[in-house]
A and B are shown apart, each in its own frame.
Chain A
């Protein structure tokens, strides 16, 4: 068990420090594409610190579930990060079937986010909660099909091994199926993190939102924790995609960390470009896109089995 090594310390530091930067990069990319200067890269950090200093308004309707949900969001994302190898560094925790724990930890967070939204008794938040529950139950099979391809390909049941050092050789052998999985997982990433084309985090109309409307009633430090937890979730899911897309292993650990962080920033730029180029889908078209993601991975499995 490679726990408590220098890599683990860096792992924790990167997971704790880096997530808000991704949001900053996405916003900056969108601003630049639109021809604006945009907020500074570190704006999400300033926002978080500002929120932490503020007071909180709790609705009289709400109870302990509403207060618990930001905590669950951060705790699960943080624990899930321990299962993912960042760059070419072994995951601190790795065991057969850890990918199932990975997916179900986010399920736990979703359960409490949805319940917290319904706890407020607001129709708007109920609407967002219903959409979140619907779309993520379709994103789940897509995620598992994608992971199945990696399981079949690497003959291993843990994220640490299937994203480990054998990956670069696999690209040469089974590039086509890995590309399909990559696209499928990218769609899942956008859906799970409520990015365009599934949801527009910057929209101004509550009726069209998914995630933002679910957390409408949160304020102050609790809202800060929700934003931070969401960023961490984006980071952790993104780390899998970056590792899959950049399976390079140099012997030098510092270069590996550099490649990984660079990859994460590049991923944010790609998300920013997607958000600049596309509009949000109509809500009734979202299921089709998620089913398409499932089918891509399905094709990928067939490619492997041929």
Chain B
């Protein structure tokens, strides 16, 4: 029943854009049909996945499939259900938002393509999450990757979009290559393409599988330094696509990593340590790069890298806990990571949707051109500030709960005698604190510069509040953030179930509720809300209309402050960018004073992606030069490439015999 609901949901969602593709460019029927199909399909999916998650049992389903070795084997367990719920919540919200944000009448050229592949991407994500067979998984994975490419390059006439799409496609191909190798090795070890824990395997084989999984899935998740495709792709895609990509798509990498790690009951300690180092590097440098950005959506994209880092730290502690046979660490680490997957999906989608509303209203992503938007777009501002508080991991919202679980795991690892464990805690916890502090600085910067103060350019003057179709999805996401933050014990059973699936041997009798103070978090959360409300009433009483005077901002006696005297985002970030200049390599052009009467001068600063510009592109260019001779094989004709595929297949068959 549940699996049928989910499969129907996947089919409906996957074909949601199809009717519209056959309708005329001007017709608004297609977009409405797509949104309705998306919502109906997702409701089916949420019903099915929710039932599995709450009932804490798994559902199997399998059909024969003509692909050699392939089987249409589907398994919906606690982990898959968590990811499904996220996919089926965020995708339809993005679709509803798109009705207003990417109207067919305003985008006749690419609106139909966008909706078609939006549905395909959602369905592919859901398919890969429930796949119980390597080949089915790879089918979903490749469909997802290619659909995302089409979506990133929605506005394919723009040069910047082209570049971003190209970097993405290269990164995703490399990742898939690693995954092919990894699944082939898993097949060697387990003897079948079905997902299952391989019984015994040589350590070197297991290590190779782990490294390939980290690279292949890490490229998709955007772990540093494999994140290079992510900022450009997220910045240039339409905002509801960015929300889906950042909130859900990159989590498919996390899903793969979580799934593969679950196969190994006794991982060596260095696996966990490697993941921890990757997590800390992604977290700290992700947020450091974010601070240097002045493009709102690029900034949010770097925060995805940061949050992937936090999730990876959680997985790392769970893997370390597994190697040391510490069930508490396993449960806290994996539930923290999975809950953060949910939470990041919610608040990052919220932030991208509100950033999209700003972009829609003002036509720019440049933070330093904006300002004072809270007065013109109060609801968008409220949505953004809720997302900002949540992403900084501040109470009483959801980000705090998942970060608390990861912190608890790190603190508990401090208490163990094994040096590997407590060194992990001693580095992980302060790193997480640093990430939190820097994220706070970054979101204070972007929220204040965009929404507070006064307008920095005339783009703001024509801004208008987003329509109800754009506000409603944001409101739902914000409500989810508040709900998980205030009543975390409500989702504890779902997390417990997922943890049992992940590590069946260790998590018997260690419920999350006994390890983490979930119900007390509700007490403190509601206490905080009550105190804030009381304080609000108090200050409203003390500053009644009769006792308040309005005036200009006090500028130390200067009577005519102008909006250009405000602190900009770049100046706010300057001291932090300097602290991290060893990694960020900021490019600055400052004016030099040549004469006693200075002329008009300009200052600019920019933080490019060091890894892409200084490491990866030069390396790839070098490789490209070395392989110039191979270009003869690139004929540019489809039939030649088909010939190559046929020849390769024949060759493989010959070798196998």
A binds B: yes
Cβ contact within 8 Å between B389 and A122: no
A204 to B264, CA, bound (A): 63
A118-B448, A118-B449, A133-B445 known; A56+B547 contact, CB < 8 A? yes
Contact string against B for A residues 85-102, beta-carbon threshold 8 Å, 1 for contact and 0 otherwise:
000000001011110110
A134 to B538, CA, bound (A): 31
Contacts of A38 in B (CB 8 A): none
Cβ contact within 8 Å between A123 and B566: yes
Cβ contact within 8 Å between B575 and A134: yes
Cβ contact within 8 Å between B524 and A59: no
Contacts of B103 in A (CB 8 A): none
A263 to B394, CA, bound (A): 31
Cβ contact within 8 Å between B429 and A144: yes
Contact string against B for A residues 205-221, beta-carbon threshold 8 Å, 1 for contact and 0 otherwise:
01000000000110011
Cβ contact within 8 Å between B393 and A104: yes
- Within B526-579, the residues touching A (CB, 8 Å) are 527-528, 531-532, 534-536, 538-539, 542-543, 547-556, 561, 563, 565-567, 571-576, 579
Contacts of B528 in A (CB 8 A): 75-76, 79, 105
Contacts of A120 in B (CB 8 A): 453, 553-554
Cβ contact within 8 Å between B538 and A71: yes
A79-B524, A130-B575 known; A111+B394 contact, CB < 8 A? yes
A126-B567, A133-B572, A287-B579 known; A59+B554 contact, CB < 8 A? yes
- B452: nearest residue on chain A (CB-CB)? A119
Task: Among A61, A220, A301, point to the contact of B426 (Cβ < 8 A).
Answer: A301
A52 to B538, CA, bound (A): 11
A76-B528, A107-B392 known; A220+B437 contact, CB < 8 A? no
| B248: Cβ under 8 A from any A Cβ | no
A121 to B372, CA, bound (A): 9
Contact string against A for B residues 492-506, beta-carbon threshold 8 Å, 1 for contact and 0 otherwise:
000000000000000
Contacts of A119 in B (CB 8 A): 448, 452-453
| A239: Cβ under 8 A from any B Cβ | no
- Within A25-81, the residues touching B (CB, 8 Å) are 52, 55-65, 67-68, 70-72, 74-76, 78-79
Cβ contact within 8 Å between B549 and A55: yes
A116 to B432, CA, bound (A): 26
A52 to B541, CA, bound (A): 11
A95-B520, A100-B404 known; A67+B539 contact, CB < 8 A? yes
A178 to B550, CA, bound (A): 51
A127 to B516, CA, bound (A): 39
A137-B576, A217-B554, A305-B419 known; A97+B404 contact, CB < 8 A? yes
Cβ contact within 8 Å between A96 and B539: no
Cβ contact within 8 Å between B452 and A134: no
Cβ contact within 8 Å between B393 and A129: no
| B271: Cβ under 8 A from any A Cβ | no
Contacts of B437 in A (CB 8 A): 107, 136-141
Binds B, one of A150-158, A163-171, A193-201: A150-158
A281 to B389, CA, bound (A): 31
| B212: Cβ under 8 A from any A Cβ | no
A17 to chain B, nearest CB (A): 17
A56-B543, A59-B550, A108-B395 known; A129+B443 contact, CB < 8 A? no
| A248: Cβ under 8 A from any B Cβ | no
Cβ contact within 8 Å between A65 and B419: no
| B361: Cβ under 8 A from any A Cβ | no
Task: Among A148, A221, A287, point to the contact of B411 (Cβ < 8 A).
Answer: A148
Cβ contact within 8 Å between B539 and A222: yes
A93-B524, A123-B567 known; A144+B572 contact, CB < 8 A? no
B521 to chain A, nearest CB (A): 8
| A124: Cβ under 8 A from any B Cβ | yes
A71-B539, A111-B394 known; A57+B431 contact, CB < 8 A? no
- Within B409-447, the residues touching A (CB, 8 Å) are 411-412, 414-415, 419, 422, 425-426, 429-434, 436-438, 440-441, 443-445, 447
List chain A positions with a Cβ less than 8 A from chain B.
52, 55-65, 67-68, 70-72, 74-76, 78-79, 93, 95-98, 100-101, 103-105, 107-108, 110-111, 114-115, 118-127, 129-131, 133-134, 136-145, 148, 151-152, 155, 157, 206, 216-217, 220-222, 225, 287, 294, 298, 301, 305
Q: What are 27 A-B pairs with beta-carbon distances under 8 A?
A: A58-B543, A58-B548, A61-B372, A63-B375, A71-B536, A79-B524, A101-B400, A104-B393, A107-B437, A111-B388, A115-B444, A115-B447, A118-B567, A119-B448, A121-B452, A121-B565, A127-B567, A130-B574, A141-B433, A141-B434, A145-B426, A148-B426, A152-B414, A221-B543, A222-B539, A298-B426, A301-B426
If A57-B551, A75-B535, A107-B437 are given as contacts, then 12 extra A-B residue pairs at C-beta distance below 8 Å, sorted by A number, are A58-B543, A59-B554, A60-B550, A60-B552, A97-B411, A101-B395, A103-B433, A121-B553, A137-B434, A137-B441, A221-B539, A221-B543
3 shortest interchain CB distances as A-B pairs: A126-B567, A137-B437, A118-B448
